[in-house]
Amino acid sequence: MSTLLTAQNILLNTSLSTKEEAIEKAGRILVEQGYVTENYVAEMKKREELTSTFMGNFVAIPHGTEEAKTEVIASGLSFLQVPEGVEWNGEEVKLVIGIAGKDGEHLELLSQIAIVCSEMENVEKLASASSEQEIIQIFEDADV
């Protein structure tokens, strides 16, 4: 997972007012780091309209629609730490993890993140981490 989640893909102590802003920011990182085309961000927003990407435990995992697969250049993740939380369809989200999966890696990425974030202890560590390396380490320690 270390090549998918790098320090450049992580924003610490982010303040967001809406889930739309969160999706835009998570998608923008994926674009800037060369994982996806510009169109992927619009597909992430479209996906959210179809069904919420809120996963429970203060975690949302926005990603593109099935049609967006052609917009993915390489698999990658973006990570937004939102200590104050952002409202997500009536739920509070403190971790926003954007996903781009190439060649069917999408579901594998989702399940790896779900494994890490199913442990509330990990979510709390991720939400309070003070460095990008700390966040990367939590995923690496989970050995997913």
Options 47, 63, 94, 106, the catalytic residue: 63
For the record, the structure tokens of 70 come out as 């052609």
Element containing residue 92 per DSSP (H, E): strand 91-100
User: Is 63 tagged catalytic?
Assistant: yes
Kindly report the number of other CB atoms within 10 A of residue 140's CB atom: 13
- Closest C-alpha to 96, from 6, 3, 21, 2: 21
Buried (b) or exposed (e) across 19-34, using 16+ Cβ within 10 A? beebbbbbbebbbebe
Element containing residue 26 per DSSP (H, E): helix 19-32
- Closest C-alpha to 144, from 116, 110, 106: 116
- Give residue 126's identity as a one-letter amino acid code: L
Active site residues: 63
